Amino acid sequence: MSTDGLLSFSVITMWFLPACLLMLIQAARGKEQCICSQLHHPQDKFCSADFAFRVELLDGYDSPAPGEADEDQLFYSYWMYTAQIVEVFKGAESDMRANVDDILDFYTPQRALCGRVSLYDEEQPSNEYLFTGTIEVSESGVTYAAITGCTWVEKWSDLKEEQIEGLRGSYSSCNCTIYPVSGEKFTGKPPRNRFNIQTCVFNPVSAKNLQVTDCELLYGSCIWNGERNGCEWKNEGLFQTCFQARKQSLVRKGKPAVSTRAECSLFNGRKKKQCIMKFLKAARKERPMVGRRSRH
């Protein structure tokens, strides 16, 4: 190999290997910092967020860490979005004190598994998004707004009306817990009661596997029911329609959609009678044996 070739190889090695190492470190850090389940309902993400804004993206570009000087680095730690706030759902009273028309910077990890880069497209007629996220403090002590793959970030035009209504009201009922069910994915044995309106169980795995609509994700909000002294899905509007249509779809597919005696009304004639008898037999088995004597 010639002297020029050796020199070129040395230069490439000097720049390429550290660059690769830095990328691996950033990816590892991102993986460590973003150990989160994707099985979270939008209401959960709203309640756990420090802020929730409807924003219009103005720009997006590589950025050093918040508070650090831009010194023409080879690789940047973050991607930064500059956005104008269109609507505030949560965060007006936080450290950010954000208001409509304010322009803020939002940071997302660059080259990390939980980053949210490349959202901004200057050729799109609208770059409106829902941003929920957390308020973080950098190593240099700078407070900044962070969005990641763990927070709820969505194209505004992709949101359902019920989700927007949730952001503007019903999602703020954060005293209720939405329980994600994911065991079916690993065991192959789905729970007997996949979908139940009397509890706030969120089961996107069953919805995907059974190829039915995920009513809870698209239309559901979990609210407190004082009469039952517990939390349940808000059963009205499109959620109610979706919930019943899904049960009908499961019945047509031959899947076990019925989990309470009242739901036997999905059937007619003989099937309805068989359904009711099944629950009566199950109830008798669960009753304690009273008045029966042993032969011995």
Q: Which residues are annotated as a binding site?
A: 34
Of 112, 116, 132, which is closest to residue 52 (Cα–Cα)?
132
Which H or E run includes 44?
A: helix 42-48
Amino acid at 243: F
Q: Give the whole-angstrom CA distance, residue 234 versus residue 199.
A: 10
HSE-up of 143 (CA within 13 Å, CB side)?
7
Distances (CA, A) of 129 to 37, 83, 277: 22, 10, 51
Q: Binding site residues for Zn(2+), as ranges?
A: 34
**Exposure class string for 244-282: b at 16+ Cβ within 10 A, else e:** eebbeebbeeeeebbbeeebbebeeeeeeeebeeebeee
Please give the DSSP secondary-structure letter assigned to residue 261. Answer: G
Pairing of strands 128-137, 179-180: unpaired
Q: Give the whole-angstrom CA distance, residue 180 versus residue 200.
A: 9
Q: How far is CA 140 from the centre of its chain?
A: 30
Of 130, 141, 72, 74, which is closest to residue 106 (Cα–Cα)?
130
